[in-house]
Amino acid sequence: MVLGEPSDGGAGAGPSGPVRLGGGVLGVDACRAGWVGAFLGPEGRGAATVVVAPTVALLLQLGGAVPVVGVDIPIGLPDSGRREADVRTRRFLGGVKSSSVFTTPTRAALQEADYAVANACNRERAGMGLSRQAHALRESILEVDAWLRGGTGCRVVEVHPEASFAMMTGAALPTRKRTPEGQRERRAALAGHGIRAPSAAPRGAGLDDVLDACAAAWSAHRVRTGLARTFPDEPEVFADGIPAAIHV
C-alpha cells in the first residue's frame, strides 16, 4: 500500500504495486503490518512516498533500487555487554528521551523465542536482563539481520528517529511522538528540512511510524551525501562482522 502527496487522502489510499522510485533513499520503521518505508528523491527533499510491506526486502521491490537504506532497528548484534551505539546515542539525546534507546540484546539471547530463557541468556552474556520491549522486536531484528547477511544490493545503516529529529532541530524533542502535538512538532521538523510527509498513514501503520520513517530517510540522505554523524565515531564490529553504529 502506497501514499504519495499529502493530498492523497485517508489511510489506505493510494495505488498498490511497484512505484518505481529508485535513485533516492529509503527510511524504514517497523509497524503493525511489518515495515513502513519512506522514499525521498535524489535531493533528499520534497514529498515523501510511503510504502507498507510485510518485509524490508519487499519495500525495495516496491520502490526500486536505492543506494542507501536507513532502518530503525539494531544492526550488528553484540556477543556480550552493551553496544557503544546505544550508549552514545542515549547520551546524545539525554534526559527522558534517552529511554527511547533500548539496549540491544546479545545475539544468543535473540535466538531464544521464550522470553524467560532469553532474559537469562542475556543476563549471563551481558550482565543485565532483557526488557520485554526489546524481546518483542526479536523477529524484526532477526529479519533485518538475515536480510543483510543475504546481500541487499545497497548500503544499509542503522538509524534512530528520535536522534534524527534531535539532529534536525538541535535538541531532543520534548513531546511524545504519538500525541497530536508530538506529530505536529515532528512534521514541522521535517518541513524545516524540505520534507513533506503524507497527512495520513497507509493501512497497517500509524502516523508516528510514517514520521519516523521520514526521519530515517533524512538520515539516510545524510549518509549518502557524507554529512551524517555516527555513534560511536568508529563503528564496533562483533563476531557477525557487521559494523554497529547509529547514523544521524
Least confident of 62-71, 86-95, 207-216, 237-246: 62-71
pLDDT digits (tens, 9 = 90+) for 8-51: 333 333 334 455 555 699 999 999 999 999 999 999 999 999 99
Residues 144/56, Cβ–Cβ less than 8 Å: yes
Q: In which band, very low, low, confident or very high, does the pLDDT at 4 lie, cut at 50, 70 and 90?
A: very low
Name the percent of the chain lying above pLDDT 70: 91
Long-range CB contact pairs, 13-17, < 8 A, 24+: 13/200, 13/202, 14/202, 17/62
Residue with cell string 522486536:
137
- Using alpha carbons, select from 33, 44, 45 the residue that is nearest to residue 2: 33
CA 127 to chain centre: 27
pLDDT digits (tens, 9 = 90+) for 138-179: 999 999 999 999 999 899 999 999 999 999 999 999 999 999
- Would you call 1 exposed, middle or buried from its count of C-beta atoms within 10 A (0-12, 13-18, 19+)? buried
Mean pLDDT to the nearest integer, 199-214: 96
Tell if the pTM clears 0.95, that is, is over it.
no
What grid cell was written down for 221? Answer: 540522505
User: Would you state the pLDDT for residue 21?
Assistant: 53
For the domain made up of 2-75+148-230, the CATH class stated in words is: alpha beta
Q: How far is CA 38 from CA 104, 171, 223, 241, in A?
A: 24, 23, 16, 28
User: Would you state the pLDDT for residue 13?
Assistant: 30
What grid cell was written down for 241? Answer: 562482522
**Coil vs helix vs strand at 29:** strand
Helices 207-224 and 161-169, packing angle to 10 deg? 70
